[in-house]
């Protein structure tokens, strides 16, 4: 079960973390995987916010492999800050417009750009799987993450729309909402923050990148053929507090 033999998969943000682990799991399941990333370490260097570069990358993949069966919109960034930071009754800072725009560009616009570029190929094939990274905070919100939460909630909304628009074409569209996952970025956080994450997770551990990768594997497989417009939480039962 959950084999991807003969499938061609594109994974954005595939150079490290969840993206790299998803690429490994997909290859192990028989897929041919092409990873995209804005930094070194991926098969192709692609900025998901650049429509021209993404369109060229899609043409290159399709020319080489003749099809694209799976798109995993995994690329994402963080730029955390409070909306307005107050100390002793005075406003001393807040989230910058640049940080808001940067997160929306990668996490939201990037998903739109990549999906819009790949969808015509899947439509011509009459089949495809589009999977996108949302987050538990996209469902529940989180302190200090206005931009990130907005982008991840938008992914859920776009997933619902595209499931309706592309479903009749034989394409399923779903999202995964990870909780606290032990990526390099998370492991580098202060001990106090990590302890709070564990306290809020009933399983009392951080998730591993493979936990999310296997969720993607299921949704990409033939066994998930009737799952469309879903948001699969992979969070250990997390309760997001204030």
The SS3 call for residue 191 is: helix
When computed from its CA atoms, the radius of gyration of the chain, rounded to whole angstroms, is 18
148 catalytic per annotation: yes
Residue 60's Cβ-side half-sphere holds a number of Cα atoms within 13 Å equal to 14
User: How far apart are alpha carbons 54 and 45 in whole angstroms?
Assistant: 10
Contact criterion met (CB below 8 Å) for 126 and 170:
yes
User: How far apart are alpha carbons 204 and 197 in whole angstroms?
Assistant: 9
Residue with tokens 């569209």: 173
Return the closest-CA partner of residue 67 out of 36, 38, 34: 34
Selecting among 148, 214, 216, 218, the annotated active-site residue is 148
- Positions annotated as catalytic residues are 148
């Amino acid at each position: 079960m959950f084999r991807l033999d003969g499938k061609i998969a594109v994974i954005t943000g595939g150079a490290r973390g969840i993206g790299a682990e998803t690429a490994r799991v997909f290859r192990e399941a028989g897929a041919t995987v092409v990873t995209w990333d804005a930094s070194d370490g991926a098969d192709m260097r692609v900025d998901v916010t650049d429509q021209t570069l993404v369109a060229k990358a899609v043409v290159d993949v399709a020319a080489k492999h003749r099809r694209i069966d799976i798109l995993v919109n995994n690329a994402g960034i963080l730029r955390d800050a409070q909306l307005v930071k107050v100390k002793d009754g005075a406003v001393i800072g807040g989230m910058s417009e640049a940080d808001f725009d940067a997160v929306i560009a990668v996490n939201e616009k990037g998903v739109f750009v990549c999906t819009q570029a790949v969808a015509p190929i899947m439509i011509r094939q009459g089949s495809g799987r589009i999977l996108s990274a949302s987050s538990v905070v996209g469902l529940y919100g989180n302190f200090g993450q206005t931009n990130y939460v907005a982008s991840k909630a938008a992914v859920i909304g776009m997933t619902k729309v595209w499931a309706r628009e592309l479903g009749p074409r034989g394409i399923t569209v779903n999202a995964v909402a990870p909780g606290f996952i032990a990526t390099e970025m998370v492991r580098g956080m202060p001990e106090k923050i990590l302890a709070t994450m564990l306290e809020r997770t009933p399983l009392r551990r951080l998730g591993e990148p493979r936990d999310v990768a296997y969720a993607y594997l299921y949704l990409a497989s033939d066994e998930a053929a009737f799952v469309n417009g879903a948001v699969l939480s992979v969070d250990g039962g997390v309760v997001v507090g204030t």
